[in-house]
Chains A and B, each alone.
Chain A
């Protein structure tokens, strides 16, 4: 047994020596993140070579089932338990635990010096939020955040407005009028009253148009933290929310919302939009060409999908806004290691990731697999899970700016898609004026502590849906606020305000 052990030790020493001897060689970094079913990136594969070319570092990513993040976390847990943590990975909610146990690397001493591109691109403001979120309270940088522009907003079938001779609504009464006209005047011209003036998805999600007009900070259906009466407050328990729910309930009664609004999932709601039956819906304007083209294929009409301006609500004195988001969760943490060579390789990779001049290279991936060049013009090929490797590094999405999205969209213009993509470009350009960053942007989940129900907005969803469908009268809203504060809302609000004070 001892002999065997000493042999193993000797072999390990030898492999250690060999790797030192080959110091000039490319260092490989294993990166784990989202993969919605594309092929893995193995050593020596085309995308691996492409990453070596772009960044000088070898990027390896095994296939790890993502499945909304649940399966991913399970497998990450197993890997960590087995002592095989990936070099750089999306911690997907496990960050606090990992940071507190010392499993991830403190990036503070490295980023500014060794990954200046990324450091400067993300900017001091965001880094100070990241430091304020340090669960150890020492103000260190433990992770690379995702940074995005306020990209969500409601859109309207402008071609319907034109057809019915209506102007773009800007006030609440004009909006109701437009919705009624969409319901009654057959704007899609098929002779059937199949129009759904507006709507959204289950849990009162993706109907930001009606929340925005009352100044409710709402991101994809998740109430956000913002200043109300000068204090950081959960937007779901504000009088603004009460007004919004009251209005939505009225629309629902009038048949101005899809009756299945609170049952729709993504596929079902998208299908209704694609069929050319929906008038106003919230999604991501930068990809509105998807809807425009689908409607065109289904109906033969060429729709004009335009941005809906923020509506002035009756009796609301503040300025409504579409909720923006800057600090958007955590993209990567780095496994704790003393291997300087590995750390330097990761910094080199991050530096390239933050180098906007390389973003188009990341976007185009491997020529022939992800993109093709015809007459000097490169275009991204359609997604194909059978043949394409997963694009591991997507800085154009994870550190996205409106300007770069416009550049990206413009690079794909041309041919028979121009009409649709140019609508997306116009909408992204117009979006900025309506977007506001809520004061609680980047607030960490740790403020919820043991109150998981508040984080999962259980009570809010129950009351919001019942008020919208008319099962509860709007007076029940006050009962909800009371219950919310009594069941942990008080403590959570305290934590949130403490966080905000520290961030200031």
Chain B
């Protein structure tokens, strides 16, 4: 082992400091929104809140969590995310696996077709008309089916399968496994890292989706969480019609803050649990043995 020189240590300190700075930059807006969500109406109205709640109150949170439509939207989002991610992983691995095999004759042609979809995106209007013509208008499936196969994710998964030791698959074949069984019982169980990473990519995409529900969902009872968030985050208009004063201790801005936190909370809770797979995931496709 080499001894760490003074230069190494200084380098380490600098890197740590930069990383701490990055963490602070990422955290400050979140903390400030959180502080806003727990602050009183007067404090929010007069910009008195920075990083700590002023006039601490749960009123904004109570107002949002007391709305049945928020919970309904959460349910829609959770279900579409779960169903979507499961389907996406199944479809993606079923395409990525054969494309990683040289024996598969159409491999090259299909790869070219996949890459084409990455470069040329469908224009909005034909895309809308196509999806509507196959019955996805005003259907929860409009929030699931368009997301279940992403070219980029498929390529990452294929690259991972390419590095899978051939000997293991061959021995499985000798023991009598067909290709499906090899995939399901041999390859996938040892590919947890890539599945976790790709699954997370899909889950975050579906959780955060906004365009698809915006274009395709008219029925407000099918709105996912992000559409509800949008409803609150609208800038208030200059002209306001006179109406009774609200006898409540929250404002539009504190409600916005609550909704934003409400919508990212679940993803924030899942992320750290999946962190360990990311270390392996980051190495994907780097060196082939």
Q: Does B230 contact A (CB under 8 A)?
A: yes
B243 engages A383 (CB within 8 Å): yes
A293 engages B128 (CB within 8 Å): no
Q: Does A12 contact B (CB under 8 A)?
A: no
Min Cβ gap B110→A in Å is: 31
- Quick one: CB contact mask for A257-279 with B, threshold 8 Å, 1 for yes? 00000000011101110111000
Q: Does B9 contact A (CB under 8 A)?
A: no
A412 engages B47 (CB within 8 Å): no
B235 engages A82 (CB within 8 Å): no
Min Cβ gap B88→A in Å is: 25
CA distance A323 to B102 in the complex (A): 74
Interface size on B, residues (CB 8 A): 37
A379 engages B240 (CB within 8 Å): no
Task: Indicate which residue in B69, B214, B246, B253 contacts A71 across the interface (CB closer than 8 Å).
Answer: B214
In the complex, which residues of chain B have a beta carbon less than 8 angstroms from the beta carbon of A36? 234, 236-237
Q: Does B95 contact A (CB under 8 A)?
A: no
Q: Does B163 contact A (CB under 8 A)?
A: no
In the complex, which residues of chain A have a beta carbon less than 8 angstroms from the beta carbon of B243? 380-383, 412
Q: Does B244 contact A (CB under 8 A)?
A: yes
Q: Does A21 contact B (CB under 8 A)?
A: no
Q: Does B220 contact A (CB under 8 A)?
A: yes
Q: Which residue of B lies closest to A266 (CB)?
A: B235
Task: Indicate which residue in B69, B124, B232, B236 contacts A266 across the interface (CB closer than 8 Å).
Answer: B236
CA distance A66 to B230 in the complex (A): 10
Q: Which residue of A lies closest to B213 (CB)?
A: A65
In A323-373, the 8 Å CB interface with B consists of 363
B231 engages A363 (CB within 8 Å): no
In the complex, which residues of chain A have a beta carbon less than 8 angstroms from the beta carbon of B231? 37, 65, 385
In A401-422, the 8 Å CB interface with B consists of 408-409, 412, 417, 421
Question: Which of B124, B238, B241, B245 neighbours the largest number of chain A CB atoms within 10 Å of its CB?
Answer: B241
CA distance A41 to B146 in the complex (A): 29
CA distance A382 to B242 in the complex (A): 9
Q: Does A9 contact B (CB under 8 A)?
A: no
In the complex, which residues of chain B have a beta carbon less than 8 angstroms from the beta carbon of A65? 214, 227, 230-231
B47 engages A386 (CB within 8 Å): no
In the complex, which residues of chain B have a beta carbon less than 8 angstroms from the beta carbon of A34? 237
Q: Does A4 contact B (CB under 8 A)?
A: no
A298 engages B42 (CB within 8 Å): yes
Q: Does B287 contact A (CB under 8 A)?
A: no
CA distance A287 to B244 in the complex (A): 13
Task: Indicate which residue in B215, B218, B245 contacts A62 across the interface (CB closer than 8 Å).
Answer: B218
Min Cβ gap B74→A in Å is: 15
Min Cβ gap B69→A in Å is: 7
Q: Does A445 contact B (CB under 8 A)?
A: no
Q: Which residue of B lies closest to A383 (CB)?
A: B243
Task: Indicate which residue in A298, A383, A394 contacts B45 across the interface (CB closer than 8 Å).
Answer: A298
In A52-109, the 8 Å CB interface with B consists of 62-63, 65-68, 71, 74-75, 77-78, 81-82
Q: Does B147 contact A (CB under 8 A)?
A: no
A275 engages B48 (CB within 8 Å): yes
A386 engages B69 (CB within 8 Å): yes
In the complex, which residues of chain B have a beta carbon less than 8 angstroms from the beta carbon of A380? 241-244
Q: Does A464 contact B (CB under 8 A)?
A: no
A275 engages B128 (CB within 8 Å): no
Task: Indicate which residue in A78, A284, A289, A421 contacts B239 across the interface (CB closer than 8 Å).
Answer: A284
- Chain A contact residues: over half helix, strand or loop, or mixed? helix
In the complex, which residues of chain B have a beta carbon less than 8 angstroms from the beta carbon of A68? 234-235
In the complex, which residues of chain B have a beta carbon less than 8 angstroms from the beta carbon of A385? 231-232
Min Cβ gap A272→B in Å is: 7
B239 engages A382 (CB within 8 Å): no
Q: Which residue of B lies closest to A271 (CB)?
A: B47
In the complex, which residues of chain A have a beta carbon less than 8 angstroms from the beta carbon of B132? 82
CA distance A379 to B227 in the complex (A): 31
In B15-51, the 8 Å CB interface with A consists of 41-42, 44-48
Min Cβ gap B96→A in Å is: 33
B253 engages A75 (CB within 8 Å): no
Q: Does A220 contact B (CB under 8 A)?
A: yes
Q: Does A321 contact B (CB under 8 A)?
A: no
CA distance A237 to B132 in the complex (A): 50
CA distance A68 to B237 in the complex (A): 9
Q: Does A397 contact B (CB under 8 A)?
A: yes
Q: Which residue of B lies closest to A34 (CB)?
A: B237
Q: Does A40 contact B (CB under 8 A)?
A: yes
In the complex, which residues of chain B have a beta carbon less than 8 angstroms from the beta carbon of A383? 243, 246
Q: Does B111 contact A (CB under 8 A)?
A: no
B242 engages A75 (CB within 8 Å): no
CA distance A68 to B241 in the complex (A): 18
Task: Indicate which residue in B218, B230, B245 contacts A382 across the interface (CB closer than 8 Å).
Answer: B245
Task: Indicate which residue in A66, A386, A408 contacts B242 across the interface (CB closer than 8 Å).
Answer: A408
Q: Which residue of B lies closest to A394 (CB)?
A: B241
CA distance A287 to B245 in the complex (A): 13
CA distance A355 to B103 in the complex (A): 77
A81 engages B129 (CB within 8 Å): yes
Q: Does B67 contact A (CB under 8 A)?
A: yes
Task: Indicate which residue in B67, B232, B242 contacts A37 across the interface (CB closer than 8 Å).
Answer: B232
In the complex, which residues of chain A have a beta carbon less than 8 angstroms from the beta carbon of B237? 34, 36
B238 engages A297 (CB within 8 Å): no
A220 engages B238 (CB within 8 Å): yes
CA distance A40 to B218 in the complex (A): 10
Q: Does B125 contact A (CB under 8 A)?
A: yes
In the complex, which residues of chain B have a beta carbon less than 8 angstroms from the beta carbon of A293? 245
Q: Which residue of A lies closest to B220 (CB)?
A: A63
Task: Indicate which residue in A82, A266, A396 contacts B238 across the interface (CB closer than 8 Å).
Answer: A266
In the complex, which residues of chain A have a beta carbon less than 8 angstroms from the beta carbon of B125? 77-78, 81
CA distance A380 to B244 in the complex (A): 6
Q: Which residue of B lies closest to A370 (CB)?
A: B243
In the complex, which residues of chain A have a beta carbon less than 8 angstroms from the beta carbon of B41? 297
In the complex, which residues of chain B have a beta carbon less than 8 angstroms from the beta carbon of A290? 240
Q: Does A176 contact B (CB under 8 A)?
A: no
In the complex, which residues of chain A have a beta carbon less than 8 angstroms from the beta carbon of B47? 268, 271-272, 275
17 more contacts with CB within 8 A, not counting A66-B234, A386-B67, A408-B241, are A63-B218, A67-B230, A74-B214, A75-B214, A75-B215, A78-B124, A78-B128, A267-B253, A271-B46, A272-B47, A274-B46, A276-B46, A294-B46, A298-B46, A383-B243, A408-B242, A412-B243
Give 5 closest A-B pairs by Cβ, nearest first. Answer: A275-B46, A271-B47, A37-B231, A382-B246, A380-B243
Q: List 6 A-B contacts (CB under 8 A).
A: A65-B230, A75-B215, A81-B125, A271-B47, A289-B242, A417-B245
A interface, CB within 8 angstroms of B: 34, 36-37, 39-40, 62-63, 65-68, 71, 74-75, 77-78, 81-82, 220, 266-268, 270-272, 274-276, 283-284, 287, 289-290, 293-294, 297-298, 363, 379-383, 385-386, 394, 396-397, 408-409, 412, 417, 421
